[in-house]
Structures are given as C-alpha cells and as structure tokens.
Amino acid sequence: MKLIIENLNKKYDKNEVLKDINFTFEEGKIYGLIGRNGAGKTTLFNSINEDIDIDSGKFFLEDEYGKNTLNIKDIGYVISTPTVPEFLTGKEFLSFFLEINKDKIKDMKTINEYFDMVQISKEEQDKLLKEYSHGMKNKMQMLINIISSPKIILLDEPLTSLDVVVQEDMKKLLKSIKKDHIIIFSTHILELALDLCDEIVILNNKNLELIKKKNLNTKKYKDKIIDSLRDEEHV
C-alpha cells in the first residue's frame, strides 16, 4: 500500500508554502517529517486530511486493487492540540466510541485492555476529560485513532507532551502497528525521530526530500537535519 502525492501546491495569499510536491509514502514504515520554521509540516497534514483547500494537486492510495483517489475515511489525524469532549469521562468517551464503531473495529478488545495500551489508570478513566492534562488528552486522541485502524496515520507532535516512560510505551505501540499502516510522524526532536522512524523526510524549500537513515552516519546529512530544525514551529 502506498500514499501518493502528485503535484501538490499550496500558498497563503502570496506566500508559497508547498510547491509541486511529488512523493510516495509506503506501508510498513514510520516516516519522520522534519522541517524548519515556516516549512509547512502542518499545512501538509491539513492538505492530506482535506482540512484546507489546496491550490492544485492530487492524493492517491495504491494497493493490490489499484490506484484510487484518497478517501478521507482512510486517514487518522492526531493533531498537536488535542480536541476531546470534555464533558465526558475517559471511560464514557471510549465506551461511546466503541459502541458507535463496533461494526467497523476488528478484533475488539475490552475497555480496560484499550486503556492499558496507553497506560491510563482506572482512577484516571473515571475523570472528566476536561481534567486531563494535555498529554493525557493526547493519549486519548492517539488511542481512538489506533482503534479505528485507518490505513494512513498522521501524527503531529503527539509525543512531546508525554513523559519519558509514556513516550517509550507509545513508541513501542506505534512500532507494533506500523506493518499495516502508513505512518507519518511530525516532530522537532531529532533524537525522537531517529529512534522511532524508519525514514526521515525533510520539508525544505517547499518540497519533500527523503533521507535514508543510513546516510545519517555522515556529518553532511546530520548537519542538514540539524539546520532544518532551527527555530522550529508550525505553519
């Protein structure tokens, strides 16, 4: 399975952010998406997820049945600022989600098993989501997307608000599911990308460039990535 981007262009007024991007992401890999200030990582995610209008370009999903226009239903998007129904408890939210999606979820687990996947205790399950920390809300957002098992998972800075122990648990979880998904992971932490991701993709000069991890043994490529991280922030 492949996610194919063809001739993607996006600008805000006269500010050109993405220019003639042609790129292919493959199933079974976690891609680390890195870019400097104003590079357009979040703009790229929002374009793929149809959250913004693009100027031109197409997205396709190719599998054993052929190449078809990408369907929004095939995408799971974990945004950097999580949005959850704060009037529900964690358990109520997950129960509701499982109930309305029970016919779509493969290998349904118990609620406790799902909460164990993201290290949310029974005490925390009964708290209102509005009382959850940013990191806890982020874990809930990731859990929902993992349960729905979309073909493509877009992760926009999902681990930076989590402590080291939980980060390790989430990294193991992502690695365990990657064989059945295309995962694109945006981060400004180089060490995290190198540890978690199979490939590093730099968004630089309005386009995408793939850097094989084996090339990171050279000073040239390390310097290039470090330079791309300077003064990082989202577009």
Structural domains of the chain, with CATH? 2-170+185-228 (3.40.50.300)
pLDDT at residue 107 above 70?
Answer: yes
What is the pLDDT confidence band of residue 21, given thresholds at 50, 70 and 90? very high
Residue the block writes with tokens 């809930």: 140
What is the pLDDT confidence band of residue 70, given thresholds at 50, 70 and 90? very high
CB contact set of 143 (below 8 Å; sequence gap of 6+) = 94, 114, 115, 117, 118
In whole angstroms, give the CA distance from residue 215 to residue 141.
34
- Residue 33, beta-bridge partner list: 186, 201
Are the C-beta atoms of 202 and 208 separated by less than 8 Å? yes
Query: What is the average pLDDT value for the chain, to the nearest integer?
Result: 88
Q: Percent of the chain having pLDDT more than 90?
A: 55
Q: 84: which 2 tokens?
A: 């959850």
Q: Which of 78, 79, 70 is nearest to 2 (CA)?
A: 70
Radius of gyration over every alpha carbon of the chain, rounded to an integer in angstroms: 18
Q: Residue 189 has what pLDDT?
A: 76
pTM, two decimal places = 0.88
Residue type (1 letter), 151: K
- Summarised one tens digit per residue, pLDDT across range 135-168 is 888 889 889 988 999 999 999 988 776 777 778 8
Q: Residue 215 has what pLDDT?
A: 65
pLDDT at residue 106 above 80?
Answer: yes
Are the C-beta atoms of 119 and 166 separated by less than 8 Å? yes
